Structure 1
Amino acid sequence: MELPFFGSRQMRNILRDEGHLVGRGRVRRLMRKMGLMAIYQKPRTSDPHPQHKIYPYLLRNMKITKPNQVWCTDITYIPMKRGFLYLVAIMDWHSRAVLSWRLSNTMEADFCVVALEDAINRYGEPEIFNTDQGSQFTSYEFTKTLRDAGIRISMDGRGRWMDNVMIERLWKSLKYECVYLRELETGSELRSALAWWFNFYNNRRPHKTFDGRKPMEIYQSGPIPEGVPPLGWTHKAA
């Protein structure tokens, strides 16, 4: 657990350097038992649909200075003791606050639409909503929800994970701080663990970008006053 970024090959090598003569197969088996990420083949979560419309990327060189200026979303998989579930989250880009999330055992668009509608009902509409080109987000149901609410749609370039980097960092924190520390067997156990962690993340976890302030604290504080440098960063994509 000290070196969670090592796969089975690197873990075998460092254990051998420390005098533990183990093979890669044993290391792989133990890592699987501990639920470490390296053992799982990642399911594809961002496959495009050839018949869905792709919208242009709108965030290049944009200064993001207030809550509800830009929201973003993504899907990740959560490893379980047997199999995995899919997780979608809606995030406010400026504050990094998670506004809504949902679990599903399929990759249909329905659970993404439900998460989006929940976020809009609770927090209002953002000016821009950014996604990748996954078929769930390019689907008619998802884009219609955005269009009906008067929200501008932005989509990353193919293979440009950096275009949605905020939520990629969220997944890393979630998995290392919550999922990989537990042996989750059922969907209800996972849902309970995620509810705890997202509440912790939003309201109690200090964020380095904000000098220790919490994401929901930033979200509720409103726009940055004129003349004050923006918190976070100005997003620039090549």
Structure 2
Amino acid sequence: MSKRKQHSPEFKAKVALEALKGEQTAAELASRFGVHPTMIHQWKRALLEGASGVFERGSRRKPEVDEAQLQALHAKIGELAVANDFLSRKLKALGRDVRRAMIEPDHPALSIGRQCGLLSIARSSFYYTPEGESDANLALMRRIDEQFLETPFYGVRQMCWHLRNEGHGVNVKRVRRLMRLMGLMPIYQKPDTSKPAKGHKTYPYLLRGLRVDRPDQVWCADITYLPMRRGFLYLVAIMDWHTRKVLAWRISNTLEARFCVEALTEAICRFGPPQIMNTDQGSQFTAFAWTDTLRRAGVRISMDGKGRCIDNIFIERLWRSLKYECVYLHAWETGSQAKAGVGRWIRFYNHQRPHTAHGGRPPAMIYWRERQPNQPSQQELRVA
């Protein structure tokens, strides 16, 4: 019988730091270190949330908890978990990946098998290490992404039929899984789509019938999928609705609210807050960190209707241009290559690319020309 795998704090910190660098996708890191992508996400989040403790007053660390007390506490929790069936039923309501991440291999009172039983997951799933998406699936995801830009109204069945007509041997379950992984949602109305995370508040759509005729009146934001040679990354962008200028952007190998908030904070610091921010109802944009940042800046929050990405059509058009003019022309190996490539294209888009909505003038020119009351210097025009 093989020995149970236990990860040291040093190993977890090493993996979390590699994830924080953003050079590799989650699938590549999971294959490299032999851990589940969910654990990588958990360790990265724990590292970011605990980083502030390094800079506490006097650089003093918090006193460590006595090991005997900690073991006694774990044992007590274990006894309560065994005795209390109510707790077990509550845990079943959590997602499988979340429950899997709760298992402690070195728990002093509960074996891994017992913990799996309490959390209602198969013991074998705890030891399973995924190999990431195959080359065939990655190629299929890219083809789905290309077709979705052409026909954003294709649902799972229509996309499956289309791929079969092209000669791909796929079924509905496979296409559904890949589209969910990529975050693609067709634009037609149907119930229970674009769900926010449980407990997150949603907001009404404020742009219907609104005349948007000046910069910083309305901003919009969205997330898209970036195919890589091995795996994929996620890109978020903040755009001014009237001028179409991209104000800030971030790339991440994990799909969470933090990198979206970083882009939002940068945009507000550089350009000041808008009157309205419009997004979809994704969990990143209904998270407290995102909405609280907007409320503190005095920004009104607007969200698209369910299944209606057409409510945020301008940034959807940005993704189309970005992918056909930049992303699909390259096969990036690392996160730094993707960031450099996307950065070059966005600078070109803002300052040089003629835009139809502005009579051939680039978005940055219109943004600074119409922005009041301050006019920027030539240096600001070059860097903004």
| TM-score normalised by structure 2 residue count | 0.49
Query: Is it true that 1:103 corresponds to 2:251 in the alignment?
Result: yes
Is 1:196 paired with 2:196?
Answer: no
Q: Which amino acid aligns with 1:24?
A: G
Letter in 1 for 2:292: K
Pick the aligned partner of 1:218 from 342, 366, 369: 366
Residue 167 (structure 2) aligned to one of 1, 18, 24? 24
SS of alignment partner, residue 153 of structure 1: strand
Tell me if the contact between 2:278 and 2:303 (Cα under 8 Å) persists in the aligned partners: yes
Change (3 A) 1:55 1:12: closer
Paired residue secondary structure (2:270): helix
Alignment deviations for residues 34-80 of structure 1 (CA, whole Å, 9 cap, x no partner): xxxxxx74512655213111111110111100000000000001000
Aligned match of 2:182 in 32, 43, 53? 43
Q: Tell me the equivalent position of 1:67.
A: 215
Matches within 5 A, 1:41-190: 41=179, 43-44=182-183, 47-190=195-338
Residue of structure 2 equivalent to 1:37: none
| Residues in 2 aligned to 1:213 and 1:44: alpha-carbon distance in whole angstroms | 32
Q: Percent identity among equivalent residues?
A: 56
Q: Which amino acid aligns with 1:57?
A: Y
How far is the alpha carbon of 1:221 from its aligned partner? 1.2
Quick one: distance in 2 between partners of 1:163 and 1:65? 17
Contact 2:218/2:242, CA 8 A, preserved across alignment = yes
How far apart are 1:223 and its partner, in Å?
A: 5.8
Compared with structure 1, are the counterparts of its residues 210 and 80 closer, same or farther at alpha carbon in structure 2 (3 Å cutoff)?
A: same
Amino acid at match of 2:167: R
Deviation of the 1:24 alpha carbon: 2.8
Contact preservation (8 Å) 1:65, 1:223:
no
2:23 corresponds to = none
Q: Find the aligned partners of 1:74 and 1:150 in 2 and give their Cα distance.
A: 20
**8 Å contact from structure 1 (residues 8, 24) kept in 2:** no
How far off its partner does 1:164 sit?
Answer: 0.4
In the aligned structure 1, how far is the partner of 2:273 from the partner of 2:249?
Answer: 16
Letter matched to residue 214 of structure 1: P
SS state at 1:150 partner? coil
**Quick one: higher RCO (CA 8 Å, sep 6+), 1 or 2?**
1
User: How many angstroms apart in 2 are the aligned matches of 1:64 and 1:212?
Assistant: 20
SS at match of 2:259: helix
C-alpha deviation, 1:10, in angstroms: 7.2
Residues 93 and 166, structure 1, Cα contact 8 Å, conserved in 2: yes
Which secondary structure does the structure 1 equivalent of 2:278 belong to?
strand
Q: In the TM superposition, what is the alpha-carbon distance from 1:108 to its structure 2 partner?
A: 1.1
- Quick check: 2:220–2:238 contact (8 Å CA) kept in 1? yes
Q: Which runs of 5+ in 1 are unaligned?
A: 14-22, 29-39, 225-238
Larger radius of gyration: 2
- Greater strand content: 1
Amino acid at match of 2:337: E
The answer to whether the Cα contact below 8 Å between 1:127 and 1:151 also exists between their aligned partners in 2 is: yes
Question: Is the contact made by 2:196 and 2:202 (CA closer than 8 Å) also made in structure 1?
Answer: no
Question: Counterpart of 2:328 in structure 1: which amino acid?
Answer: Y
Whichever residue aligns with residue 192 of structure 1, its letter is A
> What runs of 5+ residues in structure 2 fail to find an aligned partner?
1-145, 151-158, 171-177, 185-193, 373-384
Q: Which has the higher helix share?
A: 2
Q: CA deviation at 1:8?
A: 11
Could you give the per-residue CA deviations for residues 169-188 of structure 1, whole angstroms, max 9, x where no partner exists?
00000000000001111101
In the other structure, the counterpart of 2:67 is none
Q: Distance in 2 between matches of 1:218 and 1:25?
A: 45
